[in-house]
Chains A and B, each alone.
Chain A
Amino acid sequence: MVGGVTLRGISKVFKRESSELVHALEGIDLDIAPGEFVTLIGASGCGKSTLLRIVAGLTQPDSGEVCTDGEPVNGPSPDRGFAFQDHTLFPWLNVRQNVAFGLKNQPKERLAALSGGGSMSSKDIKEQISRDVDAWIELVGLQGFEKVFPHELSGGMCQRASLARALAAHPKVMMLDEPLGALDAFTRMNIQEEILRIWQARKTTMIMVTHDVDEAVYMSDRVVVLSPRPGRIQEIIPISLSRPRARSGEDFSRLRAKILDILQFGGLRQAPDYYL
């Protein structure tokens, strides 16, 4: 199993233009097992995105170390995928080209290894990519929109396309920064199922940020609650419900209530700015 993540003493301080310091993260220790589904939850601005960026290697921590499978992270890699909070689809590529971007542009050796050994010709690889891309587009329900450019898509469609683009690149660890934020309740549930299916099929380690407590309880193995300014781990709640899960029930409600309780009353009493 691959995709374990270890965070040791991660701290990050940002300097604003006004040279005021923002303690985004402080002393984050977290071990994520290979294939685990972990959700980060916390107030807006408490450093969730920053933490994901540090794991992805897009932001350097001021102190502490991130390792994936024992290897220190010192830059981005296709092994650590990222579905960004704002979709960041490439506006000059259509949906299909966007989804194919990762597969087409990663190092050839990695691609060959992914598609089962180095025996494939470049034509085979091309066809494989093409099939993969079609499958991902269908999975996120964008068939018929392959040739459409991002500016002609709705916000939710952009998020789905961006999710497909990130997952199609075969990451071992997947960072999901509020990937379902712009979706309606129904599509949201559908995509949640799809993410869970992909997760179970691929054993990809998932680190997801959400503001939706139900979503956190429904999907994760563990919920990590962060406290704001400085961002610290306030509590880690294991969700030991058996899968497939129901979206209601006594245990579900109890866990949900517990997380809400921590978010609202634990540690911080001054005016919170939750999305909840």
Chain B
Amino acid sequence: MSILRPLKRVFPIAALLAALAVQLFFPNSELQPTTRAPYFTYFLLFLLALYAALIIVSFFSAALAKKLEYGGWFYTGAILFLTGLNIFTSKLAVPPVMYFPSLDRVFGALFDDRRLLLKCLAHSGRLLFFGYFGGSIVGLFTGVGIGFSKRLSYWLSPVIRLIGPIPSTVWIPLMLIVFPTAVSASAFIIALAVWFPVTLMTSSGIANVPQSYFDAGSTLGAGRFVRVVKIGVPASMPHIFLGLFNGACSSFITLITAELIGAKYGLGWYVNWEREMLSYSNVYAGLIVVALVFFLLVTGLFKVRDKFLGWQKGVIKW
């Protein structure tokens, strides 16, 4: 155990070296078109340098050391998986090379198309930003309103139950007519997709706040506004965050789908366009970017949650 622990930090290095050995000494299948440069090799070298640097830093940072030890098995596994994939597609060309390009070609596409990809990223990012924040904020207010006002709940709950479950992409044809631009239509549709889970979880969160908190608040002099803002909202934060997560997921789906129609740029558009061009290495390059971006966004949301919901450790778990 005590010997294994520091070793865990080094295993990924060994895996990377093995991956490099496979990549360098095992020639690509003749069926795979060649690339201008061995891009996957570059990628592996980059990972090697990055990881080596992290290991050096980890000797000075116990926190980083712990993280690397914890992730050791996973990183090793991921690298080995990539190597397996490399052998399966690039080296042996078992599946048709048209749909399963070599990793060199995928990373090559990522590199060669970086300008367009960045442009698409910016385009999607803008849509997601306005759609997600717009939808969340409106959802938060709707949820709080429904949670606290009987009259709002009477009028809005049935509407929400009616509209909410409809996949918001169904509205695309209508919105393209109503909104002046495709961008504003798409942003609205994404907002709609986020609005529903956020509203639902916020109002159900508020409905589940124990009455005793409001009782305590009102004997301490809290008026209606304070009870809503300082008791109802923080007490339902765990629910609200669930809504924000679900909202994030449906916003991703909606973003990609919305871009399939009427968009001129964007990651969804890129993937679809390259698929129509039968350029699968670009499709995978686009998918890698999509996965990375969504991964970062969700991780960010987790970080925000941990910061705001430290108090709920031992109270609520999910």
Contacts and interface: CB of A to CB of B under 8 A. Distances in A.
A165 to B, nearest CB: 7
A107 B312 CA distance: 29
B216 A82 contact: yes
Interface string A137-156: 00000000000011110000
Contacts of B3: none
Contacts, number: 82
Interface stretch (B57-65, B81-89, B177-185, B217-225): B217-225
Interface in B210-252: 210, 212-213, 215-223, 226, 230-231, 234-235, 237
A102 B220 contact: yes
Nearest to A165: B220
Interface in A32-87: 53, 56, 58, 75-78, 80-82, 84, 86
Contacts of B230: 101, 105
B158 interface: no
A81 B220 CA distance: 7
Given A110-B221, A169-B220, A82 B215 contact: yes
B215 A58 contact: yes
B315 interface: yes
Interface in B282-318: 310-315
B234 A80 contact: no
A92 interface: yes
Best-surrounded residue of B222, B226, B230, B314 (most CB of chain A within 10 A): B222
A82 B213 CA distance: 12
A150 B314 CA distance: 10
Contacts of A238: none
Nearest to B229: A105
A207 to B, nearest CB: 13
Interface residues of A, number: 33
A20 to B, nearest CB: 22
B29 to A, nearest CB: 59
A106 B213 CA distance: 16
B117 to A, nearest CB: 41
B221 A88 contact: no
Contacts of B226: 105
Best-surrounded residue of A90, A169, A175 (most CB of chain B within 10 A): A90
A91 B310 CA distance: 10
A84 B211 CA distance: 12
Given A88-B212, A90-B234, A151 B220 contact: no
Given A58-B215, A91-B311, A91-B315, A107 B221 contact: yes
B56 to A, nearest CB: 35
Interface in A103-155: 105-107, 110, 149-152
Contacts of A81: 219-220
A106 B234 contact: no
Nearest to B212: A88
Interface string A147-190: 00111100000000000011001010001000000000000000
Contacts of A150: 311
Nearest first, the 5 A-B pairs at minimum CB distance are: A106-B221, A78-B221, A102-B220, A76-B218, A82-B219
Interface of B: 210, 212-213, 215-223, 226, 230-231, 234-235, 237, 310-315
23 contacts: A77-B219, A78-B220, A78-B221, A84-B215, A90-B231, A91-B311, A91-B312, A92-B234, A92-B235, A92-B237, A101-B217, A101-B230, A102-B221, A105-B220, A105-B221, A105-B222, A105-B223, A105-B226, A106-B220, A107-B221, A107-B223, A149-B310, A165-B220
Given A82-B216, A92-B237, 15 more contacts: A75-B218, A77-B221, A90-B213, A90-B234, A91-B315, A92-B234, A92-B311, A105-B220, A105-B223, A105-B226, A106-B221, A149-B310, A151-B311, A152-B314, A166-B220
